[in-house]
Amino acid sequence: GENVEQHPSTLSVQEGDSAVIKCTYSDSASNYFPWYKQELGKRPQLIIDIRSNVGEKKDQRIAVTLNKTAKHFSLHITETQPEDSAVYFCAAIGGGADGLTFGKGTHLIIQP
Amino acid sequence: NAGVTQTPKFRVLKTGQSMTLLCAQDMNHEYMYWYRQDPGMGLRLIHYSVGEGTTAKGEVPDGYNVSRLKKQNFLLGLESAAPSQTSVYFCASSYSSGSSYNSPLHFGNGTRLTVT
């Protein structure tokens, strides 16, 4: 089945700086890659997703890039703000499977 | 439109007790999932369903059973709870997860289960 690795597990950045979280996946048939944000005690919520026919997608301060050849995708957050502090999960869906496979999460800390 | 609703929100069980977690969605989604979330482990798929009357095993199915008698409901059962099943359980639903047209998962608010 699909295997998703996520790095780093914890990321601390100064407010206003950029943050980058990276994920790799194992199944070359995977074609959908969402990112979820989870605040403490709350449910995961989709913040951005990308499909395999697109290399990059941007939504205001958030962008995701996908390199199908290398089988990795990344989340980029620019001009970080205190409300960006949360745990972020990447996920992928394998070509023949049902259900997303998630990375183990990155705890993003925004330092004032 | 409530989205995905999970009940109960919290539960404490003794080892060996049984319980059922209920998930209900009002978005007419075909696919429903049960995940468990443990510190440092991310979200791991327990069981899922691709439609009414169907269920399938995910990554960590042992010790759990599920049923999907109605399209809008997906039940997760623990027949004999163990301390290793202490976790936060999330239900989710989506239009589909087929490779041709994936759609995002919509999560419920979670159930925090403690087994002593």
- A51:B102 CB<8 A: yes
List the one residue out of A99, A107, A54 whose CA is nearest residue B105.
A99
Is A62 a residue whose pLDDT tops 60?
yes
Quote the pLDDT of residue B101.
Answer: 53
Chain B neighbors of A105, CB-CB under 8 A: 40, 42
B39/A contact by beta carbon, under 8 A: no
- At B52-69, the pLDDT tens digits run 999 999 999 999 999 999
Quote the pLDDT of residue B103.
Answer: 75
Quote the pLDDT of residue A91.
Answer: 94
Residue B22 burial class via C-beta count within 10 angstroms: exposed 0-12, middle 13-18, buried 19 and up? middle
**What are the backbone angles phi and psi of residue A109, rounded to the nearest 5°?**
-115, 125
Nearest to A89 among B43, B50, B97 (CB): B43
List the one residue out of B13, B29, B4, B30 whose CA is nearest residue B78.
B13
Give the pLDDT band of residue A1 (cuts 50, 70, 90): confident
The residue written with tokens 């919290």 in the block is B10
User: In which residue ranges of chain B is pLDDT below 70?
Assistant: 1, 96-102
In the three-class reduction of DSSP (H, G, I as helix; E, B as strand; rest coil), residue A90 is classed as strand
A3/B contact by beta carbon, under 8 A: no
Residue B83 burial class via C-beta count within 10 angstroms: exposed 0-12, middle 13-18, buried 19 and up? exposed
A49/B contact by beta carbon, under 8 A: yes
Quote the pLDDT of residue A54.
Answer: 83
- A93:B97 CB<8 A: yes
A110/B contact by beta carbon, under 8 A: no
Q: Which of A47-51, A53-57, A73-77, B47-51 is the most confident on average? A: A73-77
- The residue in chain A having the minimum alpha-carbon distance to the alpha carbon of residue B4 is A43
Where is pLDDT greater, at A100 or B60? B60
In the three-class reduction of DSSP (H, G, I as helix; E, B as strand; rest coil), residue A82 is classed as helix
Best of B34, B45, B95, B102 to disrupt the A interface by mutation (most A CBs within 10 Å)? B102
- Residue range A80-90: average pLDDT? 97
Quote the pLDDT of residue B40.
Answer: 83
Pairs of CB atoms within 8 A across A/B: 57
